[in-house]
Amino acid sequence: MAGRRNRWVSMAAWLGIWAMLLAALVLLVIVPGWLLALLLVPLALWLAGTRIGRQAWSATEVAVATIPQRLGSSSVVVVGIAGVVGVLVALLAMAAGFAATLRQSGSDDTAIVLRAGAQTELNSVLDHDTVALVSQLPMVRRTPAGQPIASGELVVVAALPKRSTGLDANVELRGVGERAWDLRPNVRVIAGRRFTPGLRELMVGKRALQQFAGVGVGSSLKLGGQDWQIVGEFASGDASESDLWGDVDVVGPAYRRGSGATSVTVRLTDASAFESFKAALATDPRIKVDVKTTRDYFNEQSAQLTTLINRLGTAIGLIMGIGAVFGALNSMYAAVAARTREIATLRAVGFRALPVIVSVMLETMLLATLGGVAGAGIAWLLFNNYTASTLGANFTQIVFAFQVTPELLWRGLKWALAIGLLGGLFPALRAARMSVAEGLREL
């Protein structure tokens, strides 16, 4: 009877441990930083203030002091977790960088008008009359001189060789109207000058210059069968930096698009004017267009790729994390086995089971934290501001920089702690259940 009862008790304990573990993992992943920091306070108080807590603290000191004797297996925990966190943070930083580049391209008080159903500028065609009609609406802000801040723009695709591969890749050649500068006040010339309207002159975005060969200020290149001069370089901090800019009235004929445009972007009198602007366009029978705030337009463009990379990064991190958990389990079981006599001695001189469990857990968490910090640090060193490019919605290269944000570093650290928790708990329980008498006899 007693045997059966014992089995039930141990099974209940087993289930309890698993439930606790899962709850702890969920908590770890969702809790905000301040809450976790707050939890550290009672732990510290317990370690310092109670008798059993002080026991746990000195047991931990012993465990940590013996780490140098087990450097090989301890480093497995650190490196394994660093690998997981490094890859996770780097992949998420790629998604964050891409999303941020496109998010900065948009705002709530500018709106983009495309032909109905077109989705992207590349697919859209607007005739000259539509551009004029849209620009003249009263919701469009005007310059002090009374001109509407609206730019009918023409996006065409040019092929230029990439510096890295020498292979042709698509670059966005954007013909802009003369009000484009008022529309995008963040665009500033950092070398050379603006293009002269009416001439075959171009400006190159900072990022495009980094990625493509032969577009430096002062060089000339052949596009659309004609020679163009690059007269300036601009920076804007958003997706425009991946473009070449020219006068829409010159780009159009060169690409046989006449006086048409692909989009009109306007600055609204203020963000609240968007709804009436949209309504005015929808009710005008002369035009069939779609309108969005530029913030929505650019966010939609980044959503798909960002979600994909985030999911992939998490999935890869999970698989690597499973590997790291088993690695940590092996190492910590080995650590407990190597310290059998030590732990048995502690128990013999009056240390209870709980301090022993806590000490093994704290040791693992310490190693996990080291791994998490190392992994996140390496990802930050190698990949923060690392530039890459991919195809955007207009089938042209969008250049962006990886962003290793504090939020991502924190997320990496939480993953490290979760792996440490899983990898440390079972070895800790084994350490506590060890028979003292047998342990003391162990060589």
Partner 1 sequence: MKYLQLVWAALLRRKTRTLFTLLSIGAAFLLFGLLDAVRSDFARAGATVNGVNRLVTISKITFTMQLPKSLLERIRAVPGVADVTYANWFGGIYQDPKNFFPTEAVSPNFLDAYPEWRMSAEQRAAFRNTRTGAVVGARLAKQFGWKLGDRIPLQGTIFPQKDGSNTWIFDLVGIYTVDDPKLKAQENALLFNWDYFDEARQFGNGSVGWYVERVTDPARADAIAQQIDALSANSDHETKTQSEHAFQLAFVSQFGDIGLIVGAIMAAVFFTLVLLTGNTMAQAVRERIPELAILKTIGFTSGSVLGLLLAESVLLLLLGGVIGVLIAGSVATTLEAATGAVFPPIVGSAAIWARALALMLLIGLVVGALPAYRGLRLRIVDALAGR
126 three-class SS: strand
Site stretch for partner 1 (CB under 8 A), options 18-26, 103-111, 237-245, 383-391: 383-391
Binding-residue pattern over the window 62 to 101 for partner 1, x denoting contact by CB under 8 A: ----------xx-xx--xx--x--xx--xx----------
Alpha carbons 201 and 417: distance in angstroms, whole number: 56
**Segment interacting with partner 1, rule: CB under 8 A, options 57-65, 136-144, 208-216, 315-323:** 315-323
Taking CB under 8 A as the criterion, the residue among 195, 234, 255, 277 binding partner 1 is 255
- Give rounded-to-5 percent helix, strand, coil for the chain: 60, 20, 20
Which phi and psi (to 5°) does residue 129 adopt? -65, -40
- Per CB under 8 A, the segment of 10-18, 208-216, 270-278, 330-338 that binds partner 1 is 330-338
CB of 330 to partner 1, least distance (A): 5
Q: How many CB atoms lie within 10 A of CB 260?
A: 16
281 binds partner 1 (CB under 8 A): no
Among 9, 11, 15, 391, binds partner 1 (CB under 8 A): 391
Q: Which of positions 332-351 make contact with partner 1 (CB under 8 A)? A: 333-334
Q: Beta strand pairing status for 201-205 and 226-235?
A: parallel
Residue from 168, 407, 438, 442 that binds partner 1 (CB under 8 A)?
Answer: 168
Residues 6 or more apart from 332 whose CB is under 8 A from it?
77, 360, 363, 364, 423, 424, 426, 427, 428
Decide: is 17 part of the binding site for partner 1 (CB under 8 A).
no
Which amino acid, 12? A
Give the residue, chosen from 28, 89, 95, 122, that forms a contact with partner 1 under the rule CB under 8 A.
Answer: 122
Contacts 24+ apart (CB under 8 A), 286-290: 286/129, 286/130, 286/133, 287/130, 287/133, 287/134, 288/115, 288/116, 289/113, 289/114, 289/115, 289/116, 289/126, 289/130, 289/134, 290/113, 290/114, 290/115, 290/116, 290/117, 290/118
Stretch binding partner 1 (CB under 8 A), from 9-17, 114-122, 137-145, 199-207: 114-122
Phi, psi of 106, rounded to the nearest 5 degrees: -110, 165
Q: Among 11, 39, 157, 199, which residue interacts with partner 1 (rule: CB under 8 A)?
A: 157
**Number of residues lying near partner 1 (CB under 8 A):** 56
Q: How far apart are CA 47 and CA 172, in angstroms?
A: 61
CB of 137 to partner 1, least distance (A): 21
Stretch that binds partner 1, among 45-53, 155-163, 237-245, 362-370 (CB under 8 A): 155-163
Q: Of the ranges 36-44, 187-195, 233-241, 324-332, which one interacts with partner 1 (CB under 8 A)? A: 324-332
Residues written for the chain: 443
**163 Cβ partners below 8 Å, 6+ apart?**
210, 211, 212, 213
Residue from 154, 156, 203, 361 in contact with partner 1 (CB under 8 A) = 156
Nearer CB in complex with partner 1: 294/389: 389
Interface with partner 1, residue 225, by CB under 8 A: yes
Contact between 286 and 315 (Cβ < 8 Å) = no
Whole-number Cα distances in Å, 38 to 22, 34, 50, 372? 21, 6, 19, 20
Piece of the chain touching partner 1 by CB under 8 A; list 16-24, 28-36, 153-161, 433-441: 153-161
Q: Which has the closest alpha carbon to 86: 323, 308, 404? A: 404
Q: Which residues bind partner 1 (CB under 8 A)?
A: 72-73, 75-76, 79-80, 83, 86-87, 90-91, 115-120, 122-123, 125, 156-159, 164-165, 167-170, 223-225, 255-256, 288, 304, 316, 319-320, 322-324, 326-327, 329-331, 333-334, 388-391, 395, 397
